[in-house]
Amino acid sequence: MNQAQTETRPACSICIANYNGMKLIDACLKSVYQQDFSDAIEIIIHDDASTDGSADYIREKYPDVRLIASTGNVGFCISNNRMVDVATGEYILLLNNDAELFDDAVATLYSHAQSLKQAAILGLPQYDAASGRLIDIGSSFDLFLNPVPNLDVQRQDVGMIIGACLWLPRSLWNEIGGFPDWFGSLAEDMYVCCLARLYGYPVQALATSGFRHWVGQSLGGGKVTDNKLSTRLTRRVASERNKTFVMVMSSPAPWIYFLLPLHLTLLLLEGLALALLKRRWALFSAIYWGCLKSQWQERKRLSLWRSRIQQKRRVSQADYLGVFSFVPYKLRMLFRHGLPEVK
């Protein structure tokens, strides 16, 4: 890998959002420095007001990294928006601090991007860093925008690429407008992928190369442990809220008029059932009722954003729904792993 020089525009800017990632950042950066890639790469890290000394450590050990040290904790969306704002590469690779690239990852993404006749969002196979198990090659969706892991190496066109390792041209990022800074964290990858597909751009997962991901190390939860799905309350709150935001803004009419009432009704029923079975009313009030309240509180903003987004839609409703399946993914996970553990 050739670190970007001031007189040479890098082919790729790798943007790493870091918060209290002292135990993770060395392995992440090592995987970046070991890239078998002949063009220049720019490395940018946004430290989100870490309390573990990460910023000072990065500043001292990696002086060639462009460090943005935030004075306050602003969340994943703003962190990435800030990095892309100062990035100079033709392409952007958003990378979690708990992700480690295979040596040919950047070369694989760059080569495929160059071969396409249009801008596209690209991703790689995601492997569990602890077990080595293949997690997904991108994801499709169920009707309620729950990501369904794709394990088919022959399937390239997918619904979304996980934000832990997400590649796109700077021009496409600018057209989409980046992440909504009011999301905080979670579902921002879903947002950009849904908008890209609405605007007529491919979202593709490549079957070669890949990255290892210490799932849950950055935000906690969201993984299967001992055949049980484990997550954190704060994660579920943000996930359900933001996922529904994306549904409201991106789902084409008239589909949205059927989908949204059904989604909110089933969400309430799910919350009531989970709260009763777990004997934790806080689960219902924080996650499910909180999601409904957020949709109402943000109704004006959502209406404005939806109008702007739908005006730019270039694909038919049928084409947009081509990556959706009709079997609810949560139901599959319930039968497979039982009720989720919410910490």
What range does the domain containing 75 cover? 2-213
pLDDT band at residue 103, thresholds of 50, 70 and 90? very high
Residue 218 lies in a domain: no
Residue 337 lies in a domain: yes
pLDDT band at residue 52, thresholds of 50, 70 and 90? very high
pLDDT band at residue 254, thresholds of 50, 70 and 90? very high
- Cβ(97)–Cβ(25) below 8 Å: yes
- Cβ(55)–Cβ(16) below 8 Å: no
**Domain tally for the chain?**
2
Are residue 129 and residue 232 in the same domain, yes or no?
no
Using the predicted structure, report yes or no on whether residue 36 has a pLDDT greater than 80.
Answer: yes
Are residue 31 and residue 122 in the same domain, yes or no?
yes
Are residue 253 and residue 119 in the same domain, yes or no?
no
Which of 148, 178, 213 represents a domain boundary (last residue)?
213
Are residue 262 and residue 207 in the same domain, yes or no?
no
Are residue 132 and residue 272 in the same domain, yes or no?
no
Least confident of 134-143, 211-220, 279-288, 328-337: 328-337
Neighbour-count burial of 336, counting CB atoms closer than 10 A to its CB (0-12 exposed, 13-18 middle, 19+ buried): exposed
Which of 213, 235, 256 represents a domain boundary (last residue)?
213
Neighbours of 157 (CB within 10 A): 15
Q: What is the pLDDT of residues 149-167, one digit of tens each?
A: 999 999 999 999 999 999 9
Which of 213, 237, 253 represents a domain boundary (last residue)?
213
Are residue 119 and residue 88 in the same domain, yes or no?
yes
Encoded tokens for 107: 């070369």
Kindly report the CA angle at 180 between 182 and 155, in degrees rounded to 5? Answer: 135
What pTM was computed for the model?
0.93
Rounded CA-CA distance 90/109 in Å is: 13
CA nearest neighbour of 194 among 96, 91, 321? 321
Name the DSSP class of 118.
S
Are residue 99 and residue 171 in the same domain, yes or no?
yes
Give the bridge partners for 139, in sequence order. 149, 160
Q: Which residues contact 202 (CB under 8 A, 6 or more apart)?
A: 116, 118, 120, 121, 157, 196
Mean pLDDT rounded to a whole number for the chain: 92
Are residue 151 and residue 61 in the same domain, yes or no?
yes
- Alpha-carbon distance values, 134 to 27, 65, 131, 152, 182 (Å): 19, 30, 9, 11, 32
**CATH number, residue 67:** 3.90.550.10
Are residue 205 and residue 278 in the same domain, yes or no?
no
Q: Which residues contact 318 (CB under 8 A, 6 or more apart)?
A: none
Please list the helix, strand and coil fractions of the chain in percent, rounded to the nearest 5, in that order. Answer: 45, 20, 35
Are residue 178 and residue 313 in the same domain, yes or no?
no
Are residue 109 and residue 199 in the same domain, yes or no?
yes
Are residue 229 and residue 122 in the same domain, yes or no?
no
